Amino acid sequence: MRPPDLSHLARPGAEIAVRVTPRAARNAVTPAEDGVLRIAVTAVPEGGKANAEVVKLLAKALGVAKTRLTLLRGASGRDKLFRLD
């Protein structure tokens, strides 16, 4: 399953709020009405594995390189804030 096209959000300096669900049945990116992206990952939240999957899925949906995303807040929580450099 391909992630949705979120290239309209890929502006330099944009801050993207994300709500993560680890240990999901499948990886998915879902835009929500409240402006927060819902990202489900199959990875477990141990050793940064879930965060790495979130960055990978978000970068693919935005159409940018993974290295352009910086995690500003929420390294150990479900609510995260990324900045696109």
User: What pLDDT is recorded for position 32?
Assistant: 84
Q: How far is it, in rounded angstroms, from Cα 44 to Cα 62?
A: 23
User: What pLDDT is recorded for position 5?
Assistant: 84
Amino acid identity for residue 3 in this structure = P
Q: How far is it, in rounded angstroms, from Cα 55 to Cα 36?
A: 15
Residue 60, classed as helix, strand or coil, is helix
Question: 37-43 long-range CB contacts below 8 Å, 24 or more apart?
Answer: 37/6
Higher-confidence position of 23 and 33: 23
Domains of the chain by start residue, with CATH? 7-30+40-84 (3.30.1200.10)
User: What pLDDT is recorded for position 1?
Assistant: 61
The region of weakest confidence among 29-33, 59-63, 73-77 is 29-33
The model's pTM: 0.92
